[in-house]
């Protein structure tokens, strides 16, 4: 609800021009998929997909040199991968374009999850780089950094 009422937090600087909340992706014989947001890119007008999880979810697990994203993050990535796969079919892309007036094709998928304030930034960067072909994993601290940078730029 907070992000629906304050979409400027999801623009990630000026990367996205329009934020579309609670999109329903109908499927034949199965329940609809419901990603939290479509984010329309400024650069080309196509949308990326964002799903939000609570900030209390554990972000990283493992010991010393074997740390990786937690099961919570893995589950969230699997969920947004399903949303991305939905748009592989042309009929689905056309349906969503008619229904919401947006284009979605090979979207980047993002997950907002966890709190990284107690995690070493370099360690988090290394883990993200190892998982580069998956969903982009953002934390609530990332959202705050983007907003602070935007405010500094504007002021």
Per-residue pLDDT of the chain (155 residues; tens, 9 = 90+): 788 888 888 887 778 999 999 999 999 999 999 999 999 999 999 999 999 998 888 888 888 778 888 899 889 999 999 999 999 999 999 999 999 999 999 999 999 998 787 788 888 888 888 776 678 888 888 888 878 887 776 65
- The tally of domains found in the chain comes to 1
Report if pTM > 0.75: yes
- Residue 155 counted as domain residue: no
Whether 84 is covered by a domain: the verdict is: yes
Q: Is residue 111 within 8 Å of residue 76, measured between CB atoms?
A: yes
In a domain, 121, yes or no: yes
Q: How far is CA 155 from CA 15, 75, 146, in A?
A: 19, 39, 14
Does residue 106 lie in a domain region?
Answer: yes
User: Is 130 domain-assigned?
Assistant: yes
Q: Is residue 108 part of a domain?
A: yes
Residue 41 forms part of a structural domain = yes
Q: Specify the residue for token string 């374009």.
A: 97
CATH number, position 126: 3.40.1350
Q: Domain range holding 15?
A: 2-150
Hey, what long-range contacts does 128-135 have (CB within 8 A, 24 or more apart)?
Answer: 130/68, 131/68, 131/69, 134/77, 134/81, 135/76, 135/77, 135/80, 135/81, 135/108, 135/109, 135/110, 135/111
């Amino acid at each position: 609800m907070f992000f629906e009422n304050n979409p400027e937090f999801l623009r990630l600087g000026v990367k996205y021009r329009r934020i579309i909340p609670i999109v329903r992706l109908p499927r034949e014989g199965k329940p609809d998929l419901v990603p939290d947001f479509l984010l329309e890119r400024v650069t080309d007008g196509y949308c990326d997909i964002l799903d939000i999880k609570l900030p209390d979810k554990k972000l990283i697990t493992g010991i010393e040199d074997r740390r990786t994203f937690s099961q919570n993050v893995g589950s969230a990535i699997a969920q947004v991968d399903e949303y991305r796969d939905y748009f592989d079919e042309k009929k689905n892309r056309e349906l969503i374009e008619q229904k919401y007036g947006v284009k979605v094709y090979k979207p980047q998928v993002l997950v907002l999850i966890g709190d990284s304030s107690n995690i070493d930034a370099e360690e988090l960067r290394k883990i993200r780089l190892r998982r580069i072909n998956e969903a982009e994993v953002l934390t609530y601290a990332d959202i705050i950094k983007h907003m602070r940078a935007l405010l500094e730029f504007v002021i």
